Amino acid sequence: MRRTRFRTGITLLVVAALAPLASLTATAGPTAVPAKPFVQGTTTVAAYDYDNAIHERIEVDVPKLDGDANGITDRITVDVIRPGEAAQAGVDVPVIIQASPYYAQDNKAYFDGNGVRQVFGSWLDNYFVPRGYAVAFVDMPGTFRSTGCSDVGADLEVRGTKAVIDWLNNRVPGYNADGSSARADWSTGKAGMIGVSWNGTIANSVASTGVRGLETIVPIAAISSWYDYTRSFGVPFYDEYMGFLHDYVSNDASPRCVELTNEIEQDSDTRTGSYSNWWDPRNYNLDARNVHSSVYVVHGLGDENVKTRHFGEWWDQLARYNVPRKIFLHQGVHLDGFSFRDEWVNKLHPWFDYWLQGLQNGVMQTPQATVQREDGTFYDEPRWPAVGARQTTLKLSNASGANTGGLSIATASTDPVSFTGTDDPSQDSVVLDPTTARPDRAVFLSDELEKAVRITGTGKVSVRAKVNKVAAGIKARLVDYGTANRYTNVTNVPDTSVCWGDGNQADTGCYADTQINTAVSDTSVVVRTLADVGHYKSLYSKESLQSGTWYDLSFELNADDVVFAAGHRLGLVLTVEPDNPSIPFTGATVTLDPARSSLTLPLTGYTAALQTAEVPQSRIPSTQLAQPEPEKDPVELMRQMVEASR
C-alpha cells in the first residue's frame, strides 16, 4: 500500500491571499525573525519537502505517576515528525497530536530498529508537516510501547497523555532513544489534538484538565462519557464491556495492568447498570468548565457505535461555558471527517492555521455549523442547534380500539395502551406497518406533514408506566415514515487503484477511497434510545418494580439533526426490552398512560400539522427500512473503532 503524500505543489484547499506578510520575512539585526515560507497571507502552504522531515522517538516522563506499580515513573512514547527545513532555519512550529491506544493494531505503520515510525497510515503528517507543523503520534499509557497502565478513560490515561503537552512546554522531561535529554526547543508550545473514536475521546479528556498549551481539539466520533458509551440510562449494552475494552488495548506489560481488567469490570457494576462516582473521571461533561482550548466537534448522524448522545451532551456543556467552538455533522456512521475530503479539509486547515499558527484568517467569523443533509449536500449555518429551534412537547393519544395512537400538540387521551416484550431485544423491523395491530409495540403517529419539519438538537421522552415484572427496559424509536434517499453507510474502503489526485495528479490519498451507499425506502429509524424503568428515581440506584404501581420515567433521546419532509409523518414506537444483559429476562408487559406521557423535540419549520393527530383511516405502507440494524457485536464495534482511528 503506497504511502500517502501531500507534495509541495498541491493546489491550495483554502483560498488565500498570495502575497506573504512582510512581518514574516527575515530582517537584519540581532532580533531578526526567521522567515516562514509556509505562510502566504493568512494561509499555510506546502513549502517544505516531506522527504526531509525529521523523524524521532521521544519518551516522556509522567511526573508522580507509577500506574503499573513497578517502582518506576511511567513513560509515554511519542513519534514526532517535523519539517527539517524549519529546524535548520530556526523556525519554531506548533504540534498536532494524535494519541491512540490502537497503534499496536495498526498494520499500516512500520518501525525501524530503534522503534521509530517510518510509514504512517494517517494523512495528518503528510499534509501538515510541509505546511509548517509538527505531528506527534502518542502511544497512550499502558498501550503498545508506553509504560504504565490504561484505565479506559480515567486518570491514568489522561495524566499520561497530558504529559506530552507539558513536555512540549518544557514542564516535564523527555528522553531520546539513547537516554539523552530531549527538549522540544523546536516547538512554539502550542498544541492541538485530533482523533477519531478513542483517539478523539482522549482529546476531550485532556482538554477537560485545562492544561496550558493545548490551544484546540478536534474530537471526531468521540466519547464524552464512558458511562453513556457502555450504558443507556441504566441498561448496559453488553455484558462485561468495560473489562473487554481494557483487555483489548492493554499491552499487559505488568501484572498490575493485567489485574486492572477485572477490577475495572467489577467497579463498573454491570450487574445493576447504575452510575456511581467511579464514573466521574470518565465523564468529561462534568469538567467542561475547565476547557480552555477551542473545540471543533465532528460526528456522524448515523453513528451507532459512539452514539450521537456524546456530541450532543458535550456540545451543550461547551455552550454553557462559552467555549469557542464549531461543529461538523455528516450523514455517515463511525468514521473520520477526512472521508469527505475537500469539504472537511477546507474546514480543518484554516481552523488549525488560526488556533495554532495565529493567522488572522477570520475563521471564527464564519458560520458555526456545517450540516450534511439527507441528500448529501453540505450547508453552513450560523449556529447549532439551528436558529429558531424550540423545544416542542408532543402529547400521546390512544383512541379505544385503534391500532395506532396519535402524536400531536393537542391534549392527550386517557385510554391506556399495553405492549409486551420477550427475553430477546426487539429488532428495528418492529416499526414497519405502523397501522397494523401488534402486541409487541405501542405506535404514535403525527398527521401527514404539510411542509417540512426539522429536528435539531436533543429531545426527551417522558412516560408513566406500570410493569407486571420486577424489571424491564423501554426503547423509544423516533421514526420517519416516508423517508427516501437517506445516506445509510459511509465507510473507508482501502483501494490503491483509486487515488484522490491534486491538480498535478500527484499520488495523494491513495490509501483509501470513500464508498457511500444510499437506500430508497419508506421508513427510517432516526433515533434509538433505551432506558431502564428500574432507574426511574435516579441513575445512581436501581429499584425493583412492584406490579400495578405507576412509575414516571424521563430520559433524553440521542441528539440528531433530521428533516421530516412534506408528506411524511413523525412516529414514536415504544417497545419492551431486557433491562440488563447480565441478568436473565423472561419478558414483561408494560402499560402506558398516554395522558401523562409525552415526546419533546427541538423543532423548527412548519409545525401547524402537529397541532392535532387523527387516527389514520387507511393502512400506511411501510415495508422496508432505510438503514441496517445497529451492530450488536462488541468485537465488531472495536474493529470499527480501530479502523476509524487510522
Catalytic residue among 246, 299, 334, 568: 334
Cell of 371: 450540516
Q: How far is CA 153 from CA 74, 101, 110, 222, in A?
A: 17, 11, 27, 12
Active-site residue flag, 303: yes
What's at 313, amino acid-wise? E
Q: How far apart are CA 613 and CA 396, in angstroms?
A: 9
Q: How far is CA 47 from CA 83, 120, 403, in A?
A: 10, 20, 67
The number of C-alpha atoms within 13 Å of 93 and in the hemisphere containing its C-beta is 32
177 with 60: CB under 8 angstroms? no
Catalytic residue among 303, 353, 579, 593: 303
Q: In which element (H, E) is residue 166 found? A: helix 155-168
| The Cα angle at residue 408 between residues 402 and 412, in degrees rounded to 5 | 65
Active-site residue flag, 197: yes
* Nearest CA among 189, 182, 151 for reference residue 54: 182
Sole residue written with cell 497502565: 149
Q: How far apart are CA 156 and CA 162, in angstroms?
A: 10
Strand spans (E) along 172-239:
174-175, 187-196, 214-220, 231-232, 235-236
Q: How many residues does the chain have?
A: 646
Active-site residue flag, 334: yes
Name 534's bridge partners. none
Catalytic residue among 150, 197, 232, 250: 197
Cell of 201: 475521546
453 with 342: CB under 8 angstroms? no
Cell of 555: 430520559
Cell of 530: 433505551
- The catalytic residues are 197, 303, 334
